[in-house]
Amino acid sequence: MNIQIKKTKPFKKNKLYKGFGMVSGNNSSRLLMDYKYEHPDRYNELLELIFGKEHLAVTHLKVEMGSDINSSSGTEPSVMRHREEKADVTRGSAYMLACDAKKVNPDLVLDMLYWSEPRWVTDSDDVFDARYIWYKETLIQAYNVYGIKFDCVSVNRNERAVEAEWIKYFANRLKSEKNCRYDFSKILIVAAEEEGSLRISD
């Protein structure tokens, strides 16, 4: 008997289904906070349904870094309204939601992304440096206030053209950080949040 074995293509990890993701943006998560304070049992039940390991509905949570603008259906408050301000991650509800979701599923992947940036960043003489400070201070205060560590950060503005030099700048600075609250060099970089294109591959 002559049996022929068909060769298969090598397994590609980047094409492996890893679950659904969820975005907390436009300050929409504040509606969940009504449940947290008025009906905490229902709030916990909702979190279990959304993030619980038994259901594994959502395995990746991305939160919007607010900038006090209406980014589509609402306004996510800015965590830093000027450069000298300590980031205030309690202004919106996204970081609290991230904290609570992590308690339900410690393996949940946390990510953050900006739709727009505060005016002090845009008007800065060195936009890359200012934008990096905004990210860094947010990461630090999210840990200080809620004890959450981000697994990755999306550094390219949501649904905008790819800023390759900014992505490389951010990655280099993040990887070289010293004396942070946790090891920033382990944070993964999500290079682009493109819509309808794959320009990042170029």
pLDDT tens digits along 93-135: 999 999 999 999 999 999 999 999 999 999 999 999 999 999 9
- 28-37, 77-86, 130-139, 193-202, range with the lowest pLDDT: 193-202
> pLDDT (tens digit, 9 = 90+) per residue, 127-177?
999 999 999 999 999 999 999 999 999 999 888 888 999 999 999 999 999
pLDDT at 15: 65
Helix (H) or strand (E) holding 135: helix 127-146
Residues whose CB is less than 8 angstroms from the CB of residue 149 and which lie 6 or more positions away in sequence, other chains included? 110, 143, 182
Could you tell me the sign of the dihedral formed by the alpha carbons of 34, 36, 38, 41, in that order?
positive
List beta partners, residue 60. Answer: 21, 109
